Amino acid sequence: MKVPRVPGVPMVPIGLVLLLAGCVGEPQSWSALRRRLPGLDPAARDAAVARFVATRGGTPVVENQTRLVFLAKDANGATPRVVGDFNAWASTPQGYDATIGRMTRIEGTSWSYLEGTAYTNARVEYVFLFDKDAAADPLNPRTVQAYAGPRSEVRMPFWTAQSEVDDEQAAPAGGVIAETITSRYLGGSRRVWFYLPPGYAAAPAETLFPVIYVLDGSNYVEKMDVPRVLDRLIARRAIPPVIAVFAEPGDRQEEYSRNPRWRAFVATELVPLVDKRFRTFPTPDHRAIVGSSLAAYGAVDLAIEYPSVFGLCAAIAPPAQTATVIANQAKARRAAVSIRFFVLGGVYDTSIDGARRLRTALDDVNAPVSYLEVPEGHNTNTFRAHLDDALRALLPAH
């Protein structure tokens, strides 16, 4: 509709009118809210902060694409600290710092705030700390599961969605067989899960499948639901149909630290069992060993010790000492050139030097390696979401 002009009164652009109207309404930014609060009746300040949070869809408030504003009300008289990927979980080169993540009181309210930053394409996790108890942010609608319990998640404006983990659309399901296997080398038994891809039973008898061996099996199967991730990757033809073997250790610290009995169990007991029982490509260039965190050290160690068994190796968020497996052994340096590696590091991982050092050690011996850094931290959700990157690098679809 055309607005009639009143003689003697200058015309004001419609956009400016709307902008001015917004300014006299609710505050449109965190800084505007802070300027507004001191002029309000003290009894109205709590409600003003609550309205601001509600209009932003919860906390933290993300502004200018990189700025994070965490807001929290006291719980039973206690103000939480905020620790997460964005502030290195309160760790420093000197050790843990209990002052990191402390919130500042908003004067005249029961609310406190903390400001932080993250990359525009990052995905970060965090928790509220009340003394020694950790809890997810009740005002953040995004909660993810981690080893230690629920965490809150922030996806920054330019985060790239990962359909293989976020998409709930059904895909043809592979089968999972859970068994307990007795090992002569270990002198005991271990839990193992076998994943068979969709269509395995109906495929012609001459059809063979590559195999991925995944350490920390129970975490990948029971907590991270990786069989369903594999279903979606196969359905989208991002990876070829694969058999996956998820192996559970007894003591991670012992068995992933160059333990000859664990090595022998995996390479000389488990692999032959799988090759005999299922229709596998029984060659190292179709057999991958995969591990994350400390298990990445175990995966590299297994590949280096048995290059004639594992020609493919994925080390996801490896610890700092992993590079020494290559650098400190002449045998390992010779073996590495026959193995194709994938190494992933998280920019917000306090142990990212482990990934970088491993890449350098592999480069130094001219071993084939694909390297990827992602704007995330050290957590199960990162491991799960980037398994596709590892498998695409090691087993490209045909």
Task: Look at residue 9 in the predicted model and tell me its pLDDT.
Answer: 38
Between CA 168 and CA 228 the distance in angstroms is: 10
Give the span between the Cα atoms of 392 and 288, in whole angstroms: 12
What per-residue confidence (pLDDT) applies to 122? Answer: 97
Q: In residues, how long is the chain? A: 398
In the structure encoding, which two tokens stand for residue 223, read together? Answer: 């907590």
At 22 the pLDDT is 42
Residues contacting residue 125 through CB under 8 Å, at least 6 positions apart: 84, 85, 144, 146, 151, 152, 153, 154, 377, 379, 381
d(CA 202, CA 189): 32
pTM of the model: 0.89
**3-state secondary structure string, 99-149?**
CCCECEECCCCCEEEEEEECCCCCEEEEEEEECCEEECCCCCCCEEEECCE
C-alpha distances out from residue 48 to 19, 31, 67, 202, 347, Å: 20, 13, 21, 62, 36
Containing 162, the helix (H) or strand (E) segment is none
The predicted pLDDT at position 135 comes to 94
Q: What share of the chain is helix, strand, coil (3-state, %, to 5)?
A: 35, 25, 40
Specify the pLDDT at position 2.
42
Q: What is the pLDDT of residue 331?
A: 87
Residue type at 350 in one-letter notation:
T
- Token readout for 264 is 């022998």
**Bond into 60 cis (ω within 30):** yes
Assess contact for 77 and 64: CB atoms under 8 A.
Answer: no
Q: Domain ranges in the chain?
A: 39-158, 164-394
Q: Which CATH code of 3.30.365.10, 3.40.50.880, 2.60.40.10, 3.30.160.270 fits the domain covering 39-158?
A: 2.60.40.10
Which among 72, 136, 77 has a CA at the least distance from the CA of 104? 72
Residue 31 and residue 123 in contact, taking contact as beta carbons nearer than 8 Å: no
Q: Please report the pLDDT score of residue 131 as a whole number.
A: 82
The CA angle 8-14-19, to the nearest 5 degrees, is 115
Please identify which residue in the block is written with the tokens 């009740």: 138
CA distances from 253 to 94, 180, 245, 277, 373 (A): 24, 21, 21, 30, 26
**Angle, to 10 degrees, between the axis of helix 387-394 and the axis of helix 226-235?**
50
User: What's residue 398's pLDDT?
Assistant: 58
Each residue's pLDDT, cut to its tens digit, for the chain (398 residues) gives 343 443 443 444 444 333 334 445 789 999 999 999 999 998 899 999 999 999 999 999 999 999 999 999 988 889 999 999 999 999 998 999 999 999 999 999 999 999 999 999 999 999 999 987 899 999 999 999 888 889 999 999 999 988 878 887 789 999 999 999 999 999 999 999 999 999 999 999 899 999 999 999 999 999 999 999 999 999 999 899 999 999 998 888 888 888 999 999 999 999 999 999 999 999 999 999 999 999 999 999 999 999 999 999 999 999 999 999 998 888 889 999 999 999 999 999 999 999 999 999 999 999 999 999 999 999 999 999 999 999 999 997 65
Q: Name the CATH superfamily housing domain 164-394.
A: Alpha/Beta hydrolase fold, catalytic domain (3.40.50.1820)
Whole-angstrom distance, CA of residue 98 vs CA of residue 89: 10
**Residue 397: what pLDDT?**
64
CA 335 vs. chain centroid, Å, equals 30
Q: Are 348 and 376 in contact (CB under 8 A)?
A: yes
